[in-house]
A and B are shown apart, each in its own frame.
Chain A
Amino acid sequence: MTDERRATRALIGLLALELVAFSFLGHNFLTLGNGFEVVRASVEIGLLALALTAVIATGGIDLSVGSLLGLCAVVFGWLARDAGVAVPLAALCAVLTGALGGLLNGWLVTSLRLPPLIVTLGTYSLFRGLAEAATGGVANYTGFPAGFLGLGQGTLAGGIPAQLPVLLAAFLFFWTLVHRSVAGRGLEAIGYAPEAARHAGIPVGARLRLVYLLAGIAAGIAALVYVARLGQAKADAGTGFELLAITAVVLGGTSIFGGRASVAGTLVGLFVLALLQNGLRLADQPAELAGILTGMLLLLALALSRERKAP
């Protein structure tokens, strides 16, 4: 427990450091407007990262969430634009697609006893492949109604991005699940020692199926926010999001080996990454530099988490 606290506190320190550094280096970095834009651009990856925190807590991983986001986006776009389905129904179908994808992952992991890394590496290709096949890689669905686009582009009172409540709701949900529920205790136990968890009477299979299902649903919801923000649904939606989401989770202090998770840490990790990208742009630095610095941060975080384990 104190380990997590310490990791989170170190991360908050890092976040503060970014804020200070970029407020000198960047143009108009430390403004409320910029803060809201950073939040707006982070919601999709944030949703994936929150759901992945629960998956990684069990010692699992889900590499397919970015691809599943793409598939859900295409399903939504096709239904809403070409099939003439009402937007709310199309949105529901997109989330259901995500749920089905998550169920498939959970089933493969629990019933076939395959390692999650391999399973989701397979579905990573499968989901993206389906999205590309369905659209020939070229179809780009646009022209969604303004009411729907408001979810991604609109603002609430005071300039708050319209999608912020979605992220907050997901945060509360996963925080409660992982840190305040009986099921959540089980997740960390599974990650720590799966066999022991089984002997202790934790329904391991059911718990695992639950976390992969939730990751799929999160991918579906993230797809809707993504499509609303950009006004387009294309098969390449969400490419590479899974890696950014995993980075946020690990930065946030969740052990990649499972057994220890911090949902709040994930959120801080998310903003460390987002502020890095945003700050570099406002300092007229190319976005590639963000990749280098993100990599270094992640390695640093991993090294520190090893250090804590050793003694």
Chain B
Amino acid sequence: MTRRAPCVLLLLATAACGRGGGGSATDAITVALMPKNKGNPYFVSCRQGALEAAQELGVKLLWDGPTETDAARQNEVVEAWITRGVDAIAVSVENREGLSTVLRKARGRGIKVLTFDADALPDARDFFVNQATPRGIAETLLEHTSRILGGSGDFAIVTASLTAANQNEWIREIRELLQSKHQGLELVDIRPSDDDRKRAFDETQALLKAYPSVRVVMAIASPAVPGAAEAVKQSGRTDVKVTGLGLPNDARPYLKDGVLDSVVLWNTKDLGYLTLYAAQALKRGTLAPGATSFAAGRLGTLRVEGDNVLLGTPFTFTKHNVDRFDF
């Protein structure tokens, strides 16, 4: 027993030594941010933005979460933050119902709770930092389509699954905009990809055969973008272009080939930056229910709609800027 104690002390000392710095500023606000998955480059760039904002504001930033998407781990980390006592928690929620229970508990203890990227149930958080509204996404996607087609022509959509809630909301907005703003564009078909690249490839091939008039394929799920682009590329149809919503890394080769015109998403670094600003403002009371706008550092003054803080219009990746991003 006495022989073993030194070894164990050593172990715990290793744990302790990483702790230096940071902890001394006791009056600073502590904001805890949790991604769905720490290793995902999407969230790595969110973290860069959050770190930048934390330095500007003098906020102590805790960043922790599952090393791979794991709902159970998210619950445990939030539980620990509640016990530890932090001023604000911001989470990208993997499991809406399960995590909402814990987030409500955090609010009950006087902790300010935000969600970013993926929302919890509305009563479980104060604000949702919304990276893009369905209307904003639909508008940007249609602007690209209209530009490629010169204002009139046929296009088709490759979606996630026919029941995917997000995608269906975007499609609803797209249909509305086709009526009100882009009357020259004709949506001829919507195909599912089930979030699978191979399926998107097959569906796009079938689509090109069934509708020779289609000049734009709009792929609105991230695996569907490379799938659709590969199908168009292999078809040899240089008169057909792909646009859509997806990740820059998936899109890069096809953007450079010219098969893919553009992909729309949001600037994830700005999302992290904004989330931290919103958390600090919420704690300080400068962002409160009923607010219609708030100042977020270098992002300027951003709109607040109800309990959603809006990042603004989506960001478009093209062959010219895609190399500046890695996720």
Interfacial residues of chain A within 5-31, with CB under 8 A of chain B in the complex: 6, 9-10, 13-14, 17-18, 21, 25-29, 31
Contact of A285 among B1, B9, B19 (CB under 8 A): B19
Residues on the A chain within 8 Å of B12, using CB: 17-18, 21
Do the beta carbons of B80 and A232 come within 8 Å of each other? no
Known: A9-B1, A287-B77. A232 touches B19 (CB 8 A): no
Do the beta carbons of B5 and A17 come within 8 Å of each other? yes
Is B236 part of the contact surface with A, judged by Cβ < 8 Å?
no
Chain A interface extent, by class: 35 or more
Is B76 part of the contact surface with A, judged by Cβ < 8 Å?
yes
Known: A10-B4, A28-B84, A293-B11. A283 touches B19 (CB 8 A): yes
Is A94 part of the contact surface with B, judged by Cβ < 8 Å?
no
Residues on the A chain within 8 Å of B97, using CB: 142-143, 231-232
Q: Mark B12-56, 1 if CB is under 8 A from A, else 0.
A: 101110110011000000000000000000000000000000000
Is B96 part of the contact surface with A, judged by Cβ < 8 Å?
yes
Residue of B nearest to A25 (CB): B16
Do the beta carbons of A13 and B1 come within 8 Å of each other? yes
B side interface size, CB within 8 A? 37
Do the beta carbons of A230 and B16 come within 8 Å of each other? no
Do the beta carbons of B8 and A14 come within 8 Å of each other? yes
Is B297 part of the contact surface with A, judged by Cβ < 8 Å?
no
Do the beta carbons of B18 and A285 come within 8 Å of each other? yes
Do the beta carbons of B79 and A37 come within 8 Å of each other? yes
Known: A14-B8, A25-B19, A286-B64. A230 touches B98 (CB 8 A): yes
Do the beta carbons of B7 and A300 come within 8 Å of each other? yes
Give the Cβ gap from A305 to chain B, nearest Cβ, in Å.
12
Give the Cβ gap from A147 to chain B, nearest Cβ, in Å.
14
Do the beta carbons of B4 and A304 come within 8 Å of each other? yes
Residues on the A chain within 8 Å of B15, using CB: 21, 25, 279-280, 283, 285, 289, 293
Which of B65-73, B172-180, B214-222, B299-307 touches A?
Answer: B65-73
Given contacts A14-B4, A37-B83, A287-B67, 10 further A-B contacts (CB under 8 A): A27-B85, A149-B101, A280-B15, A281-B64, A281-B81, A282-B84, A285-B19, A286-B64, A287-B73, A300-B7
